[in-house]
Amino acid sequence: QLGSYCTPFVARSALHLSEPVPEDRGIMSGMDIAPTGLKGKLASLEDFISMQNEELAAQRQEIESLRNDKAGIEEHYQGQLQELKKTMVGDVQRMQDEVKRHFAQQKAENGRLQQQITTLKGEKTSLQQQILGLQRRIQEIEEQVGCD
């Protein structure tokens, strides 16, 4: 395949080194007479090679441009990724600090409630002992009143 940038005459002459067919004469971009000799065919081949070299240079330039674009895009997204990482690390650190603070508050609250429970248990035991003492006293008074 010679590419899409050559005329039928150039492609045919480059491939077969033969003269063009009559219907190609209108496509030959201003040439009235097709080269029939070896020098003409050689000149035609040189033109074809020159066109191909120009196309190759243009493609190389396009590849270099695309590589530069790719590098720019990668740099842009790498910067965004670093910024996102930095933001996320800050957010995670802030959340960890908040969780630690909540755990400390909860621990303090648990300690306070445990102390209240201990105090209430002590008061309950004291009240139960007072009730028992009063029940014995009532029983003693009832026995004394009943005897008199």
Per residue, what are the HEC states of 99-127? HHHHHHHHHHHHHHHHHHHHHHHHHHHHH
Confidence (pTM):
0.45
- Condensed to tens digits (0 to 9), the pLDDT of residues 58-82 reads 999 999 999 999 999 999 999 999 9
- Condensed to tens digits (0 to 9), the pLDDT of residues 101-142 reads 999 999 999 999 999 999 999 999 999 999 999 999 999 999
Separation between Cα atoms, residue 63 and residue 115, nearest integer Å: 77
Secondary structure of residue 76 in the 3-state scheme: helix
Task: Cite the beta strand spans of 36-141 per DSSP E.
Answer: none
16 pLDDT tier (thresholds 50, 70, 90)? very low
Of 10-14, 32-36, 37-41, give the lowest mean pLDDT range.
10-14
